[in-house]
Amino acid sequence: MKKYWEIWKYSLGSFSDEKTKPYDDYIVFVRTFLFVSYLITNMFIISNTIRHWGDVKQCPESLQSIIEKT
């Protein structure tokens, strides 16, 4: 499991500074939280787009009469 943690940690951003080494795990938690929140937000946006895909709205009567005259 430690190997996967290291892979996840480096996939979110490289850690090459020895001064920040004690804080690397905290940084990973913050970056993971941001990643998950972006992922959830994007899933809601995509699901809303799919839900309303192909919805047909009727034109107002005044606009419909203009379209029929052309």
Q: What is the pLDDT of residues 13-55, one digit of tens each?
A: 867 778 878 888 888 999 999 999 999 999 999 999 998 887 7
DSSP 5-52: HHHHHHHS-----GGGGGGHHHHHHHHHHHHHHHHHHHHHHHHHHHHT
Can you give the pTM of this predicted structure?
0.65
Q: Are residues 52 and 34 in contact, defined by beta-carbon separation less than 8 angstroms?
A: no
Q: Tell me the per-residue pLDDT of 56-67, one tens digit each, with 9 for 90 and over.
A: 676 566 666 776
Domain ranges of the chain: 2-69
What does the pLDDT read at residue 27?
Answer: 87
**Per-residue pLDDT tens over the stretch 3-12:** 998 888 888 8
Looking at residue 59, what is its pLDDT?
59
